[in-house]
A = this chain, B = another copy of it.
Amino acid sequence: MLLLSLAFAAMAVAQNASTSLTPATTTAFDAGVPTDAPIPGDYNGQWRPQVHFSPPTNFMNDPNGCFLDGNGTWHLYYQYNPTATVAGNQHWGHATSKDLYTWQNEKIAIFATPDSQIFSGSIVIDTNNTSGFFPNQTDGVVAIYTLNTAAEQTQEIAYSFDGGYTFTNYTSNPVLRASPPSNQFRDPKVIWYEDHWVMVIAYSQEFVIGIFTSPDLKEWTHASNFTSHGLLGLQYECPNLVSMPVLGGDSMWLMAISINPGAPLGGSITEYFPGTFNGTHFEAVDAAARIADFGKDSYAGQFFYGLPEEADPVFIAWSSNWQYAQQVPTGPQEGWRSAMGLPRRSYLVNNATRTGWALISVPYDLTPILLPSPLITNSSLGNSTLLADYSSVSSGALYFRVNVTNLPPLAQATGTLNFTFSSSSTRESVSGGFYFSGDNPFWLSRQNVLGFSQTNPFFTDKFSVGNVLNPDGTFTLEGVIDRSILEVFLDGGRNSATATFYPEGVLDTVEVRTSGINEETVVAVEVWGLKSTWAEQASEDGIVYGNVGSSASGNATQVVRRKM
């Protein structure tokens, strides 16, 4: 039964590994999908993340069309099947937020039709009306996405006069087809470069990222290819090209490519390439393959469009893996599948360690969702154990941070730092640990969680990374645990990992333990409960209704600058 369902799901994956729109406005053809009917979202389930975005019901995968509007509202669209807990019938769902944690479910933005699905893509703001769609406004929004039919994948555009809530399909779609036509040509991500638009798009099974340029988002010219770099897997998907600040220096460009299937850990993963870009050609700094997240649940990450030039780029990724995204138990038990990872602020460093270039990613400012006072603070743990019951934190979500300072010179450090989140009822746990000695490995384990892990042959139990100690004698570990997602960040985001897990019992106990650490070393621990961003907006019946109207509003968000 398991095997059959897996095989079925694998087929579904092959057909729906990515996403894009049929010629339709939000009021167009309805293939059994609620157009204006509210979609009730029950965010109370024991596995429902409380500070991460997940769809009100049914199946979600890639983030799409991410942008920050002029009012300071973050827009997240997403690959959405509103009619089942597996992929298929892909729409663009939509949500908005002022802080990237508290999300309002908006109406479905772009609809599938019976013979075409809306696969992944991006959104830009056409400030200068290059498209001609917006003679009377400077905040016109254009979505660029892949239309997937049985025969072909083509690129279409749709435009929005109301800031991204409703879209009108361009009458002369498609704006781009592969030559010859291809059913493996998808996931356009568009940016503005000086005086023209630039699209990166995957020729998925040729391991080519095509770079196209356009003056108006309608006519696209092939400019160059970025080919066969890094891990190939069996498909390239969801490319991103973004200008990136470099700590202590100028900016560089970053090409990010998601691969699926065929990642080294199995299934889906994202890799990135720092480099230079001149408006038409991207050149990587070297031939190294660098992986964005050492867990198994971070895929198809997309950078938000529209941030001020001085702000650090922000991206958000899908917290799952095609190897098991359609089998996780949240489907049958809670009626939804997949959440997004934490929004991450990012920048590049060079020579932070001997491996040179690294993409740093840290949780976007968590201040708005911290509970008023910390659950634990300990400024000097020494070699000891902190244990706390957090069942009083109704969200079940925590932020934790361990600052280690005054480590002895390299190679003389000793000891371990471990953390465990466990269930007092079932004794299940997720845990991790760092060795200050040797190769400085950090490990993360979801082995001791009952259920899904025991029956799914792809749900790998353990992850690890080598995180070389900083020469300045410091180490930081921070993370967020949110019912069924754990994300960790080492040394201010130099390494990070995302892991989903599905415990039978409710995790309610946190333990932080140090052992064998040098006497002079200072270990400071803080653990904060997090608000439930969903409970705050639930109706009296406990339900958050999605697919209901909204409108843009003011109150610009604060865009945070890097600090490492």
Residues of A within 8 A of B (CB): 3-4, 6-14, 205-207, 227-234, 261-267, 269, 284, 286-291, 294, 322-323, 354-356, 411, 414-416, 418, 433, 435-439, 441, 443, 445, 447, 454, 457-466, 468, 515-516
- A465 and B266 contact, CB distance less than 8 A: yes
Q: In the assembly, how many copies of this chain are there?
A: 2
Whether B13 lies near A439 (C-beta < 8 A) is: yes
Q: Are A435 and B355 in contact (CB under 8 A)?
A: no
Closest chain B residue to A356, Cβ basis: B228
Contact B229 A288 (CB under 8 A): yes
Q: Is the CB of A462 within 8 A of B464?
A: no
Of B6, B411, B441, B462, which one neighbours A460 at CB under 8 angstroms?
Answer: B462
Min CB distance, A458 to chain B, in Å? 6
Q: Which residues of B contact A291 (CB under 8 A)?
A: 231, 264
**Set of chain B residues within 8 Å of A416, measured between Cβ atoms:** 3, 7
Q: Report yes or no: B516 in contact with A7, Cβ–Cβ below 8 A.
A: yes
* Cβ-defined contact, A266 with B10, below 8 A: no
Are A443 and B457 interface neighbours, CB within 8 A? yes
10 closest cross-chain pairs (CB), A and B: A10-B438, A264-B264, A266-B464, A287-B287, A228-B286, A261-B466, A289-B289, A443-B457, A261-B439, A262-B466
Q: Which residue of B lies closest to A288 (CB)?
A: B228
Report the separation of the CA atoms of residues A445 and B3 in the bound assembly, to the nearest whole angstrom: 15
Q: Which residue of chain B is the closest to A230 with respect to CB atoms?
A: B289
Cα of A263 to Cα of B466 in the assembled complex, Å: 9
* Selected contact of A287 from candidates B206, B228, B294, B466, CB within 8 Å: B228
Which of A10, A233, A323 has most chain B Cβ within 10 Å?
A10
- 8 A–B contacts, CB within 8 A, in A order: A4-B516, A7-B416, A9-B438, A205-B354, A228-B287, A284-B287, A287-B287, A445-B457
Residues of B within 8 Å of A290, CB to CB, are: 232
The reply to whether A458 and B443 contact each other, CB–CB distance below 8 Å, is yes
Q: Closest residue of chain B to A461, judged by CB? A: B461
How far is it, in angstroms, between the C-alpha of A458 and the C-alpha of B288 when the chains are bound? 25
A506 to chain B, nearest CB (A): 23
**Quick check: B465 and A462 within 8 Å, CB to CB?**
no
A458 touches B462 (CB 8 A): yes
With A464-B458, A515-B3 already in contact, the answer to whether A439 and B10 are too (CB < 8 A) is yes
B265 adjacent to A264 (CB under 8 Å): yes
CB of A430, distance to nearest CB on chain B (Å):
12
Which of B269, B433, B439, B461 is A462 in contact with, Cβ under 8 Å?
Answer: B461
In the complex, chain B residues whose CB is within 8 Å of the CB of A457: 433, 443, 445, 462, 464
Contact of A262 among B3, B10, B465 (CB under 8 A): B465
| A294: chain B residues within 8 A (beta carbon) | 264
The answer on a CB contact under 8 Å between B267 and A464 is yes
> Looking across the interface, which residue of chain B has its beta carbon closest to that of A515?
B3
Q: A416 CA to B230 CA in the complex, in Å?
A: 31
**Known contacts A3-B416, A7-B436, then 19 further A-B pairs from the complex at CB < 8 Å, ordered by chain A residue:** A3-B433, A3-B515, A8-B437, A9-B438, A205-B354, A228-B286, A228-B288, A229-B287, A229-B288, A230-B289, A231-B231, A232-B290, A234-B354, A262-B355, A265-B265, A267-B464, A323-B464, A461-B461, A461-B462
In the assembly, what is the distance between CA of A323 and CA of B9, in Å?
34
Q: Do B463 and A462 have beta carbons less than 8 Å apart?
A: no
Q: What residue of chain B has the Cβ atom nearest to residue A287's Cβ? A: B287
Q: Are A231 and B438 in contact (CB under 8 A)?
A: no
